[in-house]
A and B are shown apart, each in its own frame.
Chain A
């Protein structure tokens, strides 16, 4: 098996497949990370992905425009984020429960809208792979990273963007301050509510992108429950990545490349019981988490609603 794996062709196939599979996790987990950095735990990621997957698909199906599909998918996610922000920031509801409520809303709503509008599985011509000039000709790297569709590139570009925003801009400083000590941010004239709204809505938009990628970038069709639990994995990847863009990238890639590897192992007919194969990504991710030395430092105010203390 090792020999087969070391053949360049196999490795490229597995890594390229891993990059494709990592994309939805990357979108969703980066978005969730930004929300959590501001102190809001949003468990509605999976439902948001489903609803955006549907709206993006439907608009693309009806209009034939992928760009319009992406726009609507992102706006749908933003709207879901707005709902979460109203409930958890303004109304200060318990965040875990509100997030699960949001998830169930997205799940039910996407089922319902699909039934009412399309009613049967349909397909669209989704995003086509777009080779990046020059870079795609690089050995190995070119085939692994630079022959995908535009949404895949976007997801990977958003990693350094998220890093720069969080750690190199005044906005990022405000976000981290609000997530660590909202009282302190408030006394410095930072609007805790404003920052949390912004972050949760951006997080929703990125979940929306994740769903959009599923329906018009990867599957090119819409089916009920299209995420199959990916949103929950994305939330876990935020913890795995220790609220850091590079960590989230590492977690998404590890999980997805191992998944691609187990698919490859099955396809090559290598004698491993399939149950073990499908468990591999989960087991390895947990093992990696257990062996990572640094202690997890979650934002101190995560999942705590903020209210100016009364005298």
Chain B
């Protein structure tokens, strides 16, 4: 029977780890270590090599060079099964759960049963309750996973690892989908585990979390270790500099602007989800000229449907959408664009660009049929090249050429290209959904600067983001969505994470 066995792993070291993928050196001689009873944060931008390193530790990838020492003895981790036997557990960024199965079933997959050929869910349920009590991970073992909220699903993931006797736990960006309160609960659990002698690796790109939970920090950049410090000896600015390689602007001084007339108005808006259930329940809000309104909320609470209903991509079943005094309710996306709207969709690769198309083709997706890019029924290639060159230059899109297929660019550069295309049309209203998700710090900073510039030029911006820091840094007003409703609207300069977190959890103050 699996039990928690803290103390069996006293130390783990990874020395000189090298991992190549076609065209990419993901890990270039990385050293890393963790000891029992500490939280070691692994910090780095997307693509810095954090996940690759941890997948090697968990036996999902084999390193091309380097060695792993467990309690000082070298060994080879060939598979996740072996990692589990050694006492290593991993909480993946995308939950590794099977929705049609119960919590207990998810926990015991792949484990031998005390009843030999039959599963013993009763015994598993008892053990799960014990672990839950010990670590503050309350969850009903008999519930189906699809019934659980995101925070509960993460608890199941942690229980899964503990149930298998994990001494060393790898947490890959565990806070990405949690409300601030849920983050606090997670941290309490992690501190409990630390006290019980577990070794914890905490992967993140959020600096304040590193400061809050870790004992030591290792910073990765472009597959190499660029720094390792004790948390108490550093601060956020120093960590940001290590992570990006230069100073990073973290708070924006927004010029004071008096918002003008209402450019985007949503009145009692109703729409359905893909499953046909109500996704928006009488949502009303206004965005004025020169104003950024942030929509905060845990993912799946109607944000995507709101963006799609406004932009004409999703049928509106009730209420109205008005852009610059024009009623565009249930108009086609082309009509909505013509009314003065630009849209940065959350699905960068699926909705934002056509990834097989070249940079210039993507740059003119919306405007190709209008002068000056078109002459009659033909494209004017010279004008298009000029236009594309201007966009690439102005928005700092790093691309080998205009002919390069967009799929070969990095996420940050694709997002800049989309931004360039959308903002070049001088929109009255901008709907930006998750504009910096999965984008590196440099590009994030750039995109934020552009959004603030746009605000100064009088654009009314609706910023939808699950990143509370982003919302709080940019928004003049913040509306929090929960289960298809707006729970409350607060002024950006008065909002606190605690206040927003309660609203995100559906608690009206």
Q: Taking the complex as a whole, does A directly touch B, i.e. does some CB pair lie under 8 Å apart?
A: yes
Interface centre among B52, B80, B82 (most CB of A within 10 A): B80
Whole-angstrom CA separation of A177 from B145 in the bound complex: 13
Q: Does B303 contact A (CB under 8 A)?
A: no
A184-B96, A188-B84, A188-B96 known; A177 vs B21 contact (CB < 8 Å): no
A20 at the interface (CB under 8 A from B): no
- CB-based nearest A residue for B97: A184
Is residue B118 contacting chain A, with contact meaning CB distance below 8 A?
Answer: yes
Measured CB to CB, the closest approach of chain A to B25, in angstroms, equals 11
In the complex, the answer to whether B98 meets A170 with C-beta atoms within 8 Å is no
When distances are taken between beta carbons in the complex, the residues of chain A under 8 Å from B160 are 188
Is the pair A177, B98 in contact by a Cβ cutoff of 8 Å? yes
- Quick check: is B112 within 8 A (CB to CB) of the other chain? yes
Known: A186-B60, A186-B80. A170 touches B110 (CB 8 A): yes
CB <8 Å contact, B96 and A181: yes
Q: How large is the interface on A (under 10, 10 to 19, 20 to 34, 35 or more residues)?
A: 20 to 34
Residue of A nearest to B117 (CB): A169
Tell me, yes or no, whether B109 is within 8 Å of chain A by CB.
Answer: yes
The smallest beta-carbon distance between A308 and chain B, in angstroms, is 6
Asked whether A176 is an interface residue with its Cβ less than 8 Å from the other chain, the reply is yes
CB B466 to nearest CB in A, in angstroms, measures 22
CB neighbours (8 Å) of A310 from chain B are 21
- Contact flag A168-B98 (CB < 8 Å), given A174-B109, A189-B80, A311-B52: no
A262-292 contact mask (Cβ, 8 Å, vs B): 1 or 0: 0000000000000000000000000000000
A178 to chain B, nearest CB (A): 9
User: When the two chains form their complex, are residues A311 and B112 in contact, meaning their CB atoms are under 8 A apart?
Assistant: no
The answer on a CB contact under 8 Å between B21 and A190 is no
Q: Are B98 and A187 in contact (CB under 8 A)?
A: no
Contacts A170-B119, A189-B79 given; does A176 touch B21 at CB 8 Å:
no
A168 contacts B118, C-beta separation under 8 Å: yes
Chain A 159-191 residues near chain B, CB threshold 8 A: 164, 168-174, 176-177, 180-181, 183-191
Is A297 touching B119 in the complex (CB atoms < 8 A)? no
Nearest opposing residue in chain B for A180, CB measure: B98
Report B-chain residues with C-beta under 8 Å of the C-beta of A173: 101, 105, 108-110, 119
In the complex, which residue of chain B has the Cβ closest to the Cβ of A308? B60
Taking a contact as CB atoms under 8 Å apart, the answer to whether A169 and B118 are in contact is yes
In the bound complex, how far is the Cα of B90 from the Cα of A176, in angstroms?
A: 21
In the complex with contacts A189-B79, A310-B21, A311-B52, A183-B101 CB distance below 8 A:
no
CB contacts (< 8 Å) of B404 on chain A: these are: none
Which residues of chain A come closer than 8 Å to B85, judged between CB atoms?
189
A168 pairs with B119, CB closer than 8 A = yes
The closest CB in chain A to the CB of B95 belongs to A184
- Contact across chains for A187 and B92 when beta carbons are under 8 A apart: yes
Using Cβ atoms and an 8 Å threshold, which residues of chain A touch B94? 183
Q: Are B21 and A170 in contact (CB under 8 A)?
A: no
Is B343 interfacial (CB-CB < 8 Å)? Answer: no
Nearest CB to that of A184 among chain B residues?
B96
What separation, in Å, do the CA atoms of A177 and B109 have in the docked complex? 7
Interface of chain B residues 102 through 125 with chain A (CB within 8 A): 105, 108-113, 117-119
How far apart sit A300 and B99, CA to CA, in the bound complex (Å)? Answer: 10
A311 and B54 CA atoms in complex are apart in Å by 11
Does A311 lie within 8 Å of B24, measured CB to CB? yes
Is B110 touching A185 in the complex (CB atoms < 8 A)?
yes
CB distance from A185 to the nearest CB of B (A): 7
Which of chain A's residues have a CB closer than 8 A to the CB of B58? 187
| Smallest CB separation, A298 vs chain B (Å) | 11
Say yes or no: A187 contacts B80, CB within 8 Å.
Answer: yes
B61 at the interface (CB under 8 A from A): yes
- Taking the closest CB of chain A, its distance from the CB of B311, in whole angstroms, is 29
Given A170-B108, A181-B98, A308-B60, check contact A188 B80 (CB 8 Å): yes
Rounded to whole angstroms, the CA-CA distance of A197 and B49 in the bound complex is: 33
A61 to chain B minimum Cβ distance, whole angstroms, is: 38
Tell me if B110 and A188 are in contact (CB < 8 A). yes
Q: How far is the CB of B84 from chain A (nearest CB, A)?
A: 5
B81 an interface residue at 8 Å Cβ cutoff?
Answer: yes
Report A-chain residues with C-beta under 8 Å of the C-beta of B118: 164, 168-169
Contact A181 B110 (CB under 8 A): no
Cα–Cα distance between A173 and B115 once the two chains are bound (Å):
14
| Chain B residue with Cβ nearest A179 | B98
Does B100 interact with chain A (Cβ within 8 Å)? yes
Interface centre among A173, A188, A297, A310 (most CB of B within 10 A): A188
**Interface pair A170/B90, CB less than 8 Å apart:** no
Q: How far is the CB of A41 from chain B (nearest CB, A)?
A: 18
Q: Which residues of the partner chain B approach A164 to less than 8 Å between Cβ atoms? A: 118
Q: In the complex, what distance in Å separates the CA atom of A10 from the CA atom of B94?
A: 59
Q: A173-B108, A177-B109, A311-B52 are in contact. Are A189 and B21 (CB under 8 A)?
A: no
Do A190 and B61 touch across chains, with their CB atoms under 8 A apart? no
1/0 per residue, CB under 8 A from B, across A176-217: the answer is 110011011111111100000000000000000000000000
Contact of B98 among A184, A186, A191, A311 (CB under 8 A): A184
Nearest chain A CB to B173's CB is how many angstroms away? 14
Which residue from B80, B84, B101 sits with its C-beta under 8 Å from A180?
Answer: B101
B51 interface hit (Cβ, 8 Å)? yes
**Bound form: Cα–Cα A110–B97 in Å:** 43
Report which residue of A176, A187, A191, A308 has the largest number of chain B beta carbons within 10 angstroms of its beta carbon.
A187
Asked whether B26 is an interface residue with its Cβ less than 8 Å from the other chain, the reply is yes
Q: Which residue of A lies closest to B160 (CB)?
A: A188
Q: Which residues of B contact A169 (CB under 8 A)?
A: 113, 117-119
- Taking CB atoms, residues of chain A closer than 8 Å to B79 are 189
Q: Distance in Å from the Cβ of B109 to the closest Cβ of chain A?
A: 5
Shortest A300–chain B CB gap in Å is 8
Residues of B within 8 A of A187 (CB): 58, 60, 80, 90, 92, 96
Which chain A positions have C-beta within 8 A of B61? Answer: 308, 311
CA of A185 to CA of B109, assembled, Å: 7
A170 touches B100 (CB 8 A): no
A176 touches which of B49, B60, B83, B98 (Cβ 8 Å): B98
- Give every chain B residue within 8 A of A184 (Cβ-Cβ): 95-98, 109
A172 to B119, CA, bound (A): 9
B contact residues around A311 at 8 Å (CB): 19, 21, 24, 26, 49, 51-52, 55, 61
Q: Say how far A174's CB is from chain B's closest CB, in angstroms.
A: 6
**B99, A189: Cβ atoms under 8 Å?**
no
> Which residues of A sit under 8 angstroms from B90, Cβ to Cβ?
187
| Sample of 24 A–B contacts (CB below 8 Å) | A164-B118, A169-B113, A169-B119, A170-B109, A170-B110, A170-B111, A170-B113, A171-B117, A173-B119, A176-B98, A184-B97, A187-B60, A187-B92, A188-B96, A188-B160, A189-B81, A189-B82, A189-B84, A190-B110, A300-B99, A310-B21, A311-B21, A311-B24, A311-B52
Q: A180-B98, A188-B109 are in contact. List 6 more A-B contacts (CB 8 A).
A: A170-B110, A170-B117, A174-B109, A176-B98, A176-B101, A187-B80
Nearest 8 CB-CB pairings of A with B: A189-B81, A184-B96, A190-B110, A188-B110, A180-B98, A311-B52, A177-B109, A187-B96
Q: Which residues of A contact B (CB under 8 A)?
A: 164, 168-174, 176-177, 180-181, 183-191, 297, 300, 308, 310-311
